Every structure is written in structure tokens, then in C-alpha cells.
Amino acid sequence: MKKEIMSSTDMQQALTDLAHQVLEQVADHDSLALIGIQRRGVDLAKRLSTLLSDFLGTTVMCGELDINLYRDDWTTSSATPIISATRIDFALEDKTIILVDDVLFTGRTIRSALEAIVDFGRPQAVKLLVLIDRGHRELPIQADFIGQTVVTTRDEVVNVFVVERDGHDQVVLETDQ
């Protein structure tokens, strides 16, 4: 069974709201830079970068991060990880990095991302922005900016669809029932 959590319009409004929250909570706008986690986090980060750049009248840098080789389960997984691009074309020092992902679940992806980021430098601060927070943490990680919190069971799946990859924007909760 599928249940829509966010429509295309809801997603656009959430991203606009998140951009405003970032501007309100990060005092030094010149230090802002976004890094999206592959794959859909990258698409969301690019959209947020455009929104923030429009609001500020200056370019907000945006990078892409693949965390697959930093995962704590890649050696025990039967599937071969698909490695995507990592592109961070700016120095991290003195930057407030907004790390962007589509869904926050156990926290393990974010742990991997934090480990990967320090290989590129030492930012002034790292803040986490997610479109959906679904709970069920296994690590002490929480988002600073949340588009929507969704109550789920562990066996439910939250799928984020973005026009850049899927042809449409939507967030869906899927259950086996």
C-alpha cells in the first residue's frame, strides 16, 4: 500500500521553508555552503542552493558527496556498492556546511557523510538538513532542519522521488499491507 506524504507542491514549499530557516539560523551567510549526499540529497541541495542564492543575491556553493566507501556495512553487504560522483570544488575551512539528504532514518548515512567530509577539510560547522525525518535512530544524530517528520514503523519505506531522476516530485510511504 502506498500513501502520499508530500506532493510536488508540498515539496517545493518545504524546500522554500527550509531555505528560510537556514537563512534565519546561520548568521554568517557568506560562510554558507551546501553538500548533498548522493543521490537525491544532491538534487535537493542544488535546489536549495538556487533558492538561497536567489534570496541572498550571491552564489551559494554546492557540492556532491558519495558516502558508499565510508559505510560501516559495505563489507558485509552482498551487493556491490554503486559509486557515484563526489565533487566538492571549494575549501571547507571557515564554512558552515549544510549537509543535505532526502530521508533521515538510522543515522548511519549521516555518520558516513561526516567521516567523508573531514577528508576534504575542517569546516567551521556542519548542520544537517533533511526533507523527511522518519525516526528509528541507531546513532545519536539529529537534523537541524527538517522538512517534515513522519512516524513510521521500521519495515515501512519512505521513497522520495525528484524530477531530476524520476520525472516527478513526490514523497510516498510504502507498506507491505
Q: Is the residue at 125 inside a domain?
A: yes
pTM of the predicted protein model: 0.93
Cell 522520495, located at residue:
160
Grid cell digits, residue 9? 507542491
Least confident of 45-49, 80-84, 88-92, 136-140: 80-84
C-alpha span between 58 and 176 (Å, rounded): 46
Residue 7 contacts by C-beta under 8 Å, 6 or more apart in sequence? 169, 170
Tell me, yes or no, whether 161 lies in a domain: no
Q: Answer yes or no: is 75 within a domain.
A: no
Instruction: Answer whether residue 127 is part of any domain.
Output: yes
Count up the domains in the chain and report the number: 1
Name 36's bridge partners.
Answer: 64, 100
What's the pLDDT tens digit per position in 54-77? 999 999 999 999 998 766 555 555
CATH classification at residue 35: 3.40.50.2020
Backbone angles phi, psi at 118, to 5 degrees: -65, -15
Residue 159 corresponds to which cell in the numbers above?
A: 521513497
> Is 13 part of any domain?
no
Q: What confidence tens digit (pLDDT) does each residue in 156-170 have?
A: 999 999 999 999 999
DSSP letter for each residue of 106-159: SSHHHHHHHHHHHTT--BSEEEEEEEEE----SSS---SEEEEE----TT-EEE
Q: Of 68 and 137, which is predicted with more confidence? A: 137
Residue 163 within any structural domain of the chain: no
Q: Is residue 158 part of a domain?
A: no
Domain residue limits at 98: 31-70+83-152
What was the pLDDT predicted at 72? 59
Instruction: Identify the pLDDT of residue 125.
Output: 98
